[in-house]
Amino acid sequence: MTDRRYQQARLARDHRFDGRFFVAVKTTGIYCRPICPAPAPKEQNVRYFETAIAAANAGFRPCLRCRPDSAPASCAWKGTDTTLERALRLIDDGALLTGSVTSLADRLGITSRYLGQLFQRSVGTSPKQYGLYQQVLFAKSLLQQTNLPITEVALASGFNSVRRFNDCFARVLRMTPRSLRRPGVKPAPEPGIRLFLSYRPPYDWAALRDFLQTRLIDTLEWCGDDFYGRTFRLASGASGRFTAWHRPERCGFEVALEFNQPSAPLPVVRTIRRLLDLDADSSIIDAHLAPIQAQVGIERPGLRLPGTWDAFEAGIRAILGQQISVVAARNLVRQLVAEYGGTLPGSDDAVRLFPTPATLAASRLDSLKIPGRRRQTLIDLARLFNTRPDWAADPEHWLALSGIGPWTIHYARMRGLGDSDVWLGSDLGVKKALGQANGASGKAWQPADASPWQSYLTFYMWSLL
């Protein structure tokens, strides 16, 4: 990107660049999304930043009209350093809400000093300040999009006290929480939380929806023409459910969140963004895959990766799906959820949660009509997550378990972690689609040509079936 391209995208208010950069106006001290509806400032009064936190570090505060906190996540740091990428993901998932920077560094296998140096060099701030900034921006979203009292907003954003919340909010955003409330509107408790999550178009909702519907576990998930939802359980023991309605005219999803007990929803929102792949930059991915799709003769712009709630669920689904049809695998997962999942507190028995590692580790799973070796693999994976959750969070460590091979690892990385560069070449469906595609094009091409977006090529192959 150059200043000339930034200017063109800003003046065009092109949604494809939403979240890829931010526009700061020197005369007002405000930074905006490139799609901001406010009158476009003169170019000599503008500065461009790749990330929102970079604009904030330069002394600018977020716009109240376009709300930079709602923009799709920036990919400015993605792929530059695997340790940094994992650290950012863990912080986004709430690692610093319940732990310290030292414990985060221990999880990454590095010292806290090196972690700080890594952040200062690449992000321009400390891990703690980065995490705090994400909390404050999320609180800003809650203040502007919900009717929650300020006290509940503070707790939902991960702050232990309203006083600390007010101090951090004023220091980071240079405004008070109360100033964001519309005049005359009295905050009052409301059931659940409703938020709007943006994406950069194009977005192939139909392909994502059809994939999720084909593998739908009806007691765990629900899906329709314009919505998807499911239950979830957090590491804290809290549980809940969400429903996301697609709003293509607004380039995003309207999301309703419910919890069975007070919880910080920031990690849940981050997981929903990954599950629906809202932060992908389709313009870049589509351009990378265009030569392959042109040879096949079928274009699918805006493909997104269909996720699962976490790596554990993805691993269990992958093991149950080894060498059988999608329908048979879905039936096995449905049986597992029905027998071992437990009900969502406050709902009827028809709404269930995915089984916990502890539950499966203590079970024999005799009712599942699968080979004994595969049954033991499920138990072994559950025991690994139950005893060493941080270690088990990386699917590469599963290879030590009998019955788990590269296909299972790659499937879990793609659907459970949102890894963009996974090629499932050994998958039977991919093999079938690949044969059809090469036959239709008359030319052979290599999956590596799609790197670092091989996961999207895998999903493209599945979409051809």
Peptide bond into 39 cis (omega under 30): no
For 147, other C-beta atoms within 10 Å of its C-beta total 16
Query: Could you tell me the two tokens for 121?
Result: 């060099």
C-alpha span between 398 and 380 (Å, rounded): 9
Using CA atoms of 53, 56, 61, 65 in order, give the dihedral in degrees to the nearest 10.
Answer: -20
Query: Could you tell me the two tokens for 439?
Result: 């036959």
For 326, other C-beta atoms within 10 Å of its C-beta total 14
Query: Could you tell me the two tokens for 455?
Result: 């996961």
C-alpha span between 61 and 30 (Å, rounded): 5
CB 99 within 8 Å of CB 87: no
Owner of token pair 């340790």: 83
Q: Which residues are catalytic?
A: 32, 427
C-alpha span between 61 and 322 (Å, rounded): 51
Closest CA to 21 of 76, 82, 100: 76
The conformation of residue 352, written as its DSSP 8-state character, comes to: B
Q: Tell me which amino acid residue 451 is.
A: S
The conformation of residue 421, written as its DSSP 8-state character, comes to: -
Question: Radius of gyration of the chain from Cα atoms?
Answer: 23
Question: CB-side exposure of 35: number of CA atoms within 13 Å?
Answer: 19
Helices and strands: H and E segment counts in the chain? 20, 9
